[in-house]
A and B are shown apart, each in its own frame.
Chain A
Amino acid sequence: MEHIRAHVLVCAGTGCVSAGSKKIEAALRDQIAKHGLDKEIKIVETGCHGLCEMGPLVIVYPEGVFYVRVQESDIVDIVEQHLYKGRVVERLLYTEHDTLEGIPSYKEIAFYKKQMRMVLANCGQIDPEQIDEYISVGGYEALGKALTTMKPEEVVDEVKKSGLRGRGGGGFPTGMKWGFARNAPGEKKYVVCNADEGDPGAFMDRSVLESDPHRVIEGMAVCGYAIGADEGYVYVRAEYPLAIKRLKNAIEQAEAIGLLGENIFGSGFNFRLKIKEGAGAFVCGEETALLASIEGKRGMPRPRPPFPAISGLWGKPTNINNVETFANIPQIITKGADWFASIGTERSKGTKVFALTGRINHTGLAEVPMGITMREIIYDIGGGIPDGKKFKAAQIGGPSGGCLPEQLLDLSVDYDSLIKVGAMMGSGGLVVMDETTCMVDLAKFFLSFTQEESCGKCTPCREGTKRMLEILTRITEGQGKEGDIELLETMARDIKTTALCGLGQTAPNPVLSTLQYFRDEYEAHIKEKRCPAGSCAGLLEYTITEECKGCGLCKKACPVEAISGEKKGLHEIDQDKCVKCAACFAKCPFKAIKKQ
């Protein structure tokens, strides 16, 4: 008989594992046993807490002390000082950027203060591999409530009333989608979870699956009951091995105690789940391509209608939602549609998880209520831009989204406001850029991503994105011509209106939005052969200034012998020979080489 007096939570999300959290856990186990504390202290492996920048994270309860960037060598102190003697190890505490004082507890950290963690409520708080922990915080009660007290139509109505919209891209009302699948004629129906998260910089779906897989399973089972499906698929990309492992484990545990399978809660409702591993093609995030891939065919989209709700997987009515959408379902059922609808804006309800990446202090995951401003997300939660640089733009919605400039920082973040300014919610990737990012180069980056991922079925996408990419490449290399901007605009519009699926229709968005807000940068590249951000290598010129002491280091560093000059005399770069490798720039001890 033992009483556990403390829990040590070690983050085992992908971010922290790659930062070494497994080693830390092993060291903890050793030290705790060494001090004879193993019967009173429990180590819990959790999923992601969202503050990935500061990992590996270790949290000690009951105090809720939050240790960041913990190294193996710190474990002795955590065990001897904190766990044995109750003294907080101050040097490992999280510190805010503007103060130097350590902040001991989770709840006081600015990164979490403005967040509203609903979908992520359990992430980092429970052990995702133990169904007991999920149940202990009220898990599967939504499924129980739906199955034993609600009719399927009532579940659909509740989701409609909540105002929940798809969290994967388009933002279609989830309840309506469920209604279509419910009303579609047919005995056999399917529920499919789209976990083919492919946007560069987006990782919220992975994180939810890794940290709280049961929540997604529960949401899918509720959906199955609502639309009349007895079988479901989770389509996860194979690049997410930990998510797949935890999901498999969760499905087995739910089956073992009868929360999946036959006659759940004695209601006569049967539901089984299967996992389909995708091979990581971006286009498979498009629903018809995803279904083709589950069926074992090549992942290519097909024209709609018929929509999957009428004819989906193997021709049967199918409802597809993404991970975050399903993860919202349990709380809507337990707390009610009115509660959910009280959060957010008029037409965008609830919260949204954003993956903060790029030039931002707190890289990680943040869940915020709809209607919050970009400024709050980037500065209050994200901690602003590192190294005292200036904010330039934020790419929201991944390669299908748009690029928003500084003057839109106070924009309300919701589905409709974002569409109005030429961006979109997408899956919630938020890539922040500072003044050193070239907007033409950024558009080129995203377009090269979509171009590479184009499946090639329809011409506008296959050929169109390739031609646009050629033009952008030319511009960044200083070969831009008069008329390029207009040609880009025309092509972008044509591709948007004629491409077969969402990938093609949205591929030109980054080009259009950067043209809308940063047209002068395109013009500077084309007319003045100049990159205002100083980033396009092809447009830079390296020159040596009067500061030169004639040490000769640059001359030695130059791989193409473009630098000439006598010892102790002013050196010079031959612009015709220079390949702009920046080797001299990096070597000069007197900062005498200028880049323009």
Chain B
Amino acid sequence: MKTIEDLKRLRDQVQSTTRMRHDSSRQIIVGMGTCGIAAGAREVMSTILDEIAKRKLDDVLVRQTGCIGMCEKEVLVDVVLAGQPRITYGNVTTADIPKIIADHVVNGRIVKELAIGKFVE
């Protein structure tokens, strides 16, 4: 390390090591109730993690939630972007994940054919 720019570069590189402990503007939430798990939520979660890693989306938080009652629509996956309504996708399979992430999480375009609801928090 020779200059202050070197330090800033290193900081940017290692920022992902602690970013999780602060708030983030992009979140993906997977329904992990018994219904969700039975419908394959765990596989969906693994695919989400792989996809995020592939695209180096270090700042995206992946969280879980419980059953919200629409068990027949499981696996449910929510995408929350700062300042926008929370969008719920239903009957999600591992095959849908690349599209949800590419269109919605990265480019901010809701995947209308999979979306089943939105709510404003």
Contact = CB atoms under 8 A, between A and B. Distances in A.
Interface in B1-29: 1-4, 7-8, 10-11, 14-21, 24
Contacts of A145: 4
A61 B18 CA distance: 10
Given A2-B53, A86-B32, A61 B21 contact: yes
Given A7-B21, A133-B18, A136-B18, A63 B10 contact: no
Contacts, number: 95
Contact of A135 (B14, B52, B58, B66): B14
A5 B21 CA distance: 11
17 contacts: A1-B54, A3-B49, A7-B20, A7-B21, A61-B21, A62-B24, A63-B63, A85-B32, A85-B37, A86-B65, A132-B14, A135-B14, A136-B19, A141-B11, A144-B7, A145-B4, A259-B1
Interface string A367-396: 000000000000000000000000000000
A137 interface: yes
Contacts of A125: 18, 21
Contacts of A40: 46, 49
Interface in A225-277: 257-259, 265-266
Interface residues of A, number: 37
B63 A135 contact: no
A539 to B, nearest CB: 54
A137 B18 contact: yes
A268 to B, nearest CB: 12
A85 B38 CA distance: 12
Contact of A266 (B2, B15, B52, B62): B2
Given A7-B21, A40-B46, 18 more contacts: A1-B53, A3-B57, A3-B60, A61-B21, A62-B63, A63-B63, A85-B66, A87-B66, A132-B17, A133-B14, A133-B17, A136-B19, A137-B18, A141-B4, A141-B11, A257-B10, A259-B1, A266-B2
A258 B20 contact: no
A138 interface: yes
B71 interface: no
A318 B12 CA distance: 36
Contacts of B20: 4, 6-7, 61-62
B4 A136 contact: no
B6 to A, nearest CB: 8
Nearest to B36: A85
A136 B59 CA distance: 13
Contacts of A86: 30, 32, 63-66
A141 B7 contact: yes
Interface in B47-97: 49-50, 52-54, 57-58, 60-66
A257 B11 contact: no
